[in-house]
Amino acid sequence: MTTSPLRAALDAVIAEQGCSLTDLTVLAPKNDPFRIDTPARHRDGQWLAGTAAELGLGYGRIHLRGLHYMVLGRTKPDGSTYENTDKNWEWLQGDCAKAARFLGYIPFDQITDQRNAEPVIREFSRPEPYPYMTVGIDIEIPAADEITPRLGVADFRGVQPYHLVMIGETARPGRYG
Residue 131 lies in a domain: no
**Does a structural domain hold residue 29?**
yes
Compute the distance between CA of residue 72 and CA of residue 81 in angstroms, rounded to an integer.
Answer: 8
Q: What is the pLDDT of residue 47?
A: 92
Residue 118 lies inside a defined structural domain of this protein: no
Give a yes or no: residue 91 inside a domain.
Answer: yes
Q: Label the pairing between strands 62-63 and 111-112.
A: parallel
Backbone φ and ψ of 45, nearest 5°: -65, -40
Domain that holds residue 49: 5-112
C-alpha 53/C-alpha 42 separation (Å) is 16
Please state the pTM of the whole predicted model. Answer: 0.55
Query: What's the pLDDT score for residue 176?
Result: 54
Q: Is residue 53 part of a domain?
A: yes
List CB contacts of 45: < 8 A, sequence separation 6 or more. Answer: 96, 99, 100, 101, 102, 103, 105, 106
| Residue among 10, 4, 25 at smallest CA distance from 102 | 4
Report the distance separating Cα 132 and Cα 162, nearest Å: 49
Which residues have a Cβ under 8 Å from the Cβ of 143 and sit 6 or more positions away? 131
What is the model's pLDDT at position 95?
Answer: 83
pLDDT at 87: 93
| Higher pLDDT pick, 33 / 75 | 75
Q: pLDDT at position 81, please?
A: 94
> How many domains is the chain built from?
1
Q: Give CA–CA dist 67/84, Å, rounded.
A: 12
Q: Is residue 122 part of a domain?
A: no
Asked whether residue 18 is domain-assigned, the answer is yes
The amino acid at residue 35 is R
State how far the Cα of 22 lies from the Cα of 56, in Å rounded to an integer. 40
What is the per-residue pLDDT for 9? 81
Considering the domain boundaries, does residue 144 fall inside one?
no
Alpha carbon distance 82, 78 (integer Å): 10
